[in-house]
Each structure stands twice: as structure tokens, then as C-alpha cells.
Amino acid sequence: AAPTDTAPTSTGEPAPPATDDNGDPIPTTTFDQQAFEDEFAAQWELTDPADATDDGNVVYAEYVGEGADRQISRRHLLGPLQLDGEAVADADARNPGFQGWIIDLELSPANSLDPLATQCFNGAPTCPRIDAETGRLAIVLDGEVQFAGTVGSPTFDGNVQLSGNYDQDSARDLAITLRAGALPIEFEDPTTQQVSASIGRSALDAGIIAGLVGLGLVALYILAYYRVLGLVALASLAISGALLWTIVAWLGESQGLTLTLAGITGLIVSIGVSVDSNIVYFEHLREDVRNGRTPRSAVDRAFPVAFSTIVKADVASLIGAILLYFLTTGAVRGFAFYLGLSVILDLVATYFFMGPAVRMITRGASFDENPGKWGVPARRRAIA
């Protein structure tokens, strides 16, 4: 029957059953449109390559739009994989000026697509013709059809052009997708350095030795200059070190924290920060004694003033460590972490140990009688 422009109408009453020439009802089959659509939808659901049929056919989708507007434009029933992405050496978008934007594919080897193109161009059973056209080839990446089109030549000799209704943006996006999907890409941390186990161990040992040597030299200087007060400073340094070791060991056990060479550098720098805190206090004490105060009264007065200065200096160091930790990557973060942790523990040791310890040991009579042995100048000046 010829097609008409008028749609059939319905009276709303069921049609009488169909009969044959003898008036007997003709057996009919009820057509369930919803069941048909469900079956069709199930048949054309997207297929994982691992779930392909025995003949290798899979169903992939082609999408249009971006973001929330992204949706499936069509589904493609594809045959077995014939060529993988290793054959694509490069992809570039260009506008030749007469057919819109195209994508040039560079293949390696150059004739790798020719056997498959010959099959599709001639309509072989493995690549049948569709609508009297040549067979189609599809490019699939990550389960999505990036391109599907007819084959215009049985051979390409490495010069393959993908054409369609591409504008500049879509052509460049497709070229980038094909390059990224085809070329071997390996992401590496630019701050990572690979060394042998022996070299890494040697560097770590050298860092530890440098830290111990530095600590020994600092200890000799403090003892020579501040004498008994130097022992208090070393005890404060030992306490902050013990707290630091405990925290690092706990973090290593629970969070997998490791002590790196950069971390050791941060610890070495923190030794200077901790010693500075002691020196600030001791120099305030010595200055008060020089100005005529008794050593015992100078101890009580010097600590609050010195601790205020120590807090300001340590907070400045802590801010720097925090900025380094959050704004950098790699080894610098390890340095910043250990430096910041050491600064916090220095404040704890200074407030809860060094101040009370100095006040306690200076309560004896020998401190006022012979302050030089404690590292405090014996000569006093009267306050005018």
C-alpha cells in the first residue's frame, strides 16, 4: 500500500476477530510493544569486551554533548578487534579548506590498516556493506566509540584521514583523544629519584652521622659557655628529642611514616631552633644579672620575657614549615613536617621543663654564692 499523510483513527471499540472464508476465527499472536522494547533494549545494552559473544561482537555507544548534557547518540554493533592503538603513531587536526576540519592519522607501520580497509571496502563478510555503502570501521577508546565511518579506499599507505561534520574544537579534541589513547603514556613523579639500596642506605647513614656530629659540637659549645645551665639545655633537648622519636615511631607504625633524608635534614635544623630557645632564656638571665639583679630574682623575671620571644620565633618557623608542607611536594614536605613537629615539641619542652628546671636548681645557696659555675656572670652592676 502506498503511504498516506493521514494517520489511522480508532473508534475506541475493539475490532472484531479476524475470520477465514468459512467464518472460522484465524489464530493471532498478541504483540506486546513494551516487551519488544525491553527485549530490544536488553539486546543492545552496552557490552563489556570480556562479555563478547563467541563471534567477538560487542555493542559500544557513541556519545554527544558534555557534562550534564552528555547522552548516547547511537549504538554500534562491532565485530572483533582487528587493530589496536599501538598502530596509531600520531593524530593531528587540520583544515584543508574545502571539506571542513579533518583528522590525519599517522600509522606505524604505514600499511597496518590496509588489510582491514580492503575487507571493508569490498564488503567482506567480516565487514559487510551497510545501505549499499562500503563497510564501516570504528575507533573505540575506553568503551566509547570515538569515530565510526565508511572506508573510502582499499589502501591508505599510512595516510588516513577521518572526516565528518567536525568544527575546529571537536576535531582537535578527537585528535588529542586519539593521541593520548594510542601513545604509551607513563606518569612519573618529577621529584622521584631512583637509587640503589646501598646508595640510599649510605646517604641515610651519612645524614644520621652528620646530625650526631652537629649535636655533639652544639653540646660542647653550650657546656663550655653556660656550664651547669648548659646541662639543663641538653636535658631539654633530649626531652624534645624523646617526644619526637615517640611520635615518629607511632606514626610509622600506624600511618606508615618513614624517616627520609629530607626528614633528617629537618631534624638537624630543629636542633638549632631548640638551642636558640635555651640561649634566649639564658641571655635574658645573664643580662638581668649584669644590670644588678640577684641571680635568683633574675631567674624568675627572665623566663616570662624570654618565653614570649621564643613563642614569636617558633611561630614564625612553624608558619614557614606549614607553608612548605602544603605548597610543595616530594622531599620538601618531609623536611617541613619534621621541622614543624620539632618546633612544637620545643615549645612544650621549654615551657614544661626548662623554665621549671632552672628555677628548681637555682634555689640552692651555691647559686647566689658562685653564679659563675652556673654560667651566670659573677660581677654585678648596681642599678642607678
What is the domain partition of the chain in residue ranges?
Answer: 42-77, 83-138+148-182, 200-374
Give yes or no for residue 34 having a pLDDT over 50. no
CATH fold for domain 83-138+148-182: Gyrase A; domain 2 (3.30.1360)
pLDDT of residue 3: 37
Name the pLDDT band for 308 (thresholds 50, 70, 90). very high
The reported pTM is 0.47
**How far apart, in whole angstroms, are the C-alpha atoms of residue 58 and residue 52?**
5
Buried b (16+ CB within 10 A) or exposed e, 335-356: bbbbbbbbbbbbbebbeebbbe
Q: What is the distance between the alpha carbons of residues 40 and 45, in angstroms, rounded to a whole number?
A: 9
Distance, in Å, from the CA atom of 31 to the CA atom of 251, rounded to the nearest integer, reads 69
DSSP bridge pairs for 102:
94, 163
* For residues 63-74, average pLDDT: 68
Q: Would you state the pLDDT for residue 270?
A: 82
Residue 315 confidence (pLDDT):
92
- What's the chain's average pLDDT? 73
* Same fold yes or no, 83-138+148-182 and 200-374: no
Q: Pick 216 or 79 by higher pLDDT.
A: 216
Pick the CATH number of 200-374 from 1.20.1640.10, 2.170.120.40, 3.40.50.10320, 3.30.1600.10: 1.20.1640.10
Average pLDDT over residues 86-95: 82
Pairing of β 144-150 and β 88-94: unpaired
Predicted pLDDT of residue 365: 58
User: Is 279:346 a contact under the CB 8 Å cutoff?
Assistant: no
Q: What is the reported pLDDT for 42?
A: 44
pLDDT interval class at 2 (50, 70, 90): very low
- Confidence (pLDDT) at 224: 86
Mean pLDDT of the region 128-136 = 69
pLDDT band at 181 (very low <50, low <70, confident <90, very high): low
pLDDT in tens, 270-290: 888 888 888 898 888 888 878
Kindly tell me if the per-residue pLDDT of 302 is higher than 60.
yes
